[in-house]
A = this chain, B = another copy of it.
C-alpha cells in the first residue's frame, strides 16, 4: 500500500507540514501575527484544517513552542558535551535565538500558549534540565534557584532579548558573540 503523500484527501503528515508552515509564517511576522488561515493556505489545505489538528491557534503555537524547547535542549546539550564550558553554553543560547528566531520568540510568549499542555511542560523541563547541567542549580520541576545559575541565565537571556529587540547599537550587533563572552566573564559564579 503506497502512502500517497501530497495529492489525496489524507495528507500523510499534515501535522508536521502545518508546524513547518507556522514556523515560516512566524519567522516573517512574529508569533502574534500568525494566521491559521494563512498557515492552511501555505500547507495547501482547507482553512479549518489547522484548528482540527491543534484545537485552536494557541494549540498550534504550543506545538511550535514545545518543538522549539526540544531543539533548544539539543543545541545546548551538543555544546555542553563538546566543550564543557558554561560560557559556550551561553553563547549557544544566543546563537539558537538568532538562528531560530521563530521558535525562540514563541517559546517565551506564555500568554499565547496553552500553559498546562503536557507536551510543552515536558519539553520545557528538558530544556531547563539542560540549562541546569550548565549553570548548576534547579529543583525537581526544573526551576532554577541557585543564585549563580539565576545570574547566568538572566544575563544571557536579557542580552539575547535586548539584542533581538534591536535595542543595541551597531557596535554590539556586529559581534554579539564577542560582546556576550566579554560581559559573561564579568560574572562571579
- Listed in ascending order, the chain A residues whose CB lies under 8 Å from chain B are 29-30, 32-33, 108, 110-112, 115, 139, 141, 143-145, 147-148, 150-151, 153-162, 165-169, 171-172, 179, 182-183, 186-189
Give Cα distance in the complex from A171 to B139, angstroms. 10
Question: Which single member of B32, B139, B168, B171 contacts A111 (CB below 8 Å)?
Answer: B32
Closest to A159 in B: B154
17 more contacts with CB within 8 A, not counting A32-B32, A143-B168, are A33-B111, A108-B161, A108-B165, A110-B165, A115-B166, A141-B169, A143-B169, A143-B172, A144-B168, A147-B183, A150-B159, A150-B183, A151-B155, A154-B155, A156-B158, A161-B161, A186-B187
Give Cα distance in the complex from A30 to B31, angstroms. 13
